[in-house]
Amino acid sequence: MSQHNIAGKKVAFLLTDGVEQVELTSPWNAVKEAGGEPTLVAPKSGTVQGYDGTDKGQTFDVDLTAAEANAADFHALVIPGGVVNADHLRADKDAQAFTRAFFEQHKPVASICHGPWLLIEAGVLNGRSLTSYHTLQTDLKNAGANWSDQEVVVDQGLVTSRNPHDLPAFNDKLLEEIAEGEHAGQTA
């Protein structure tokens, strides 16, 4: 059981086909176990296909499309990784706008592995400290971020990690930031 109680807090999980399954299910379960209410948001309705590396995993039901979802209805945002997932999300204008709104509203955002690619397109990284899967470091630095190779990096409500091995630390910091609430320094 988590040391952080986030009872009643609504957490959006933004993803699409190609999501690295454990980077969805592990934080999702952590949020639920801490009393939070996760919601799956995707660019399209229906289901999304999860992957375990390059192998197909489970499918997950979409609760809201990114066009329908409103950041004002949530306390935090989680962006799981997966190369295909992240590449498709970063090209989606509704996903970009939904993500940017969390920063504009000073709400916690957590992103792991390839997920931070979307943060580049949302225009929210200039001057921010973060980590990601190592192959994204040049892209993130070019977007103005201060990238470092660490298990988890927290910067004013922005939580990032590198890969599935970092999930325990990622989940703990995600819950801590949600419990703390809005952060004045979390801004677009």
Burial of 112: CB neighbours in 10 Å, binned 0-12, 13-18, 19+: buried
State the catalytic residue, choosing from 4, 75, 88, 113: 113
For tokens 């935090």, the residue is 76
Q: Virtual CA dihedral for 73, 112, 50, 17, nearest 10 degrees?
A: 70
CA atoms of 122 and 118, how far apart (whole Å): 6
**Amino acid, single-letter form, for residue 22:** V
CA atoms of 181 and 44, how far apart (whole Å): 29
CA atoms of 95 and 67, how far apart (whole Å): 8
Burial of 5: CB neighbours in 10 Å, binned 0-12, 13-18, 19+: middle
CA atoms of 175 and 114, how far apart (whole Å): 20
State the catalytic residue, choosing from 4, 75, 88, 114: 114
Our answer to whether residue 4 is catalytic in this structure is no
Our answer to whether residue 183 is catalytic in this structure is no
Query: Active-site residue numbers?
Result: 113-114
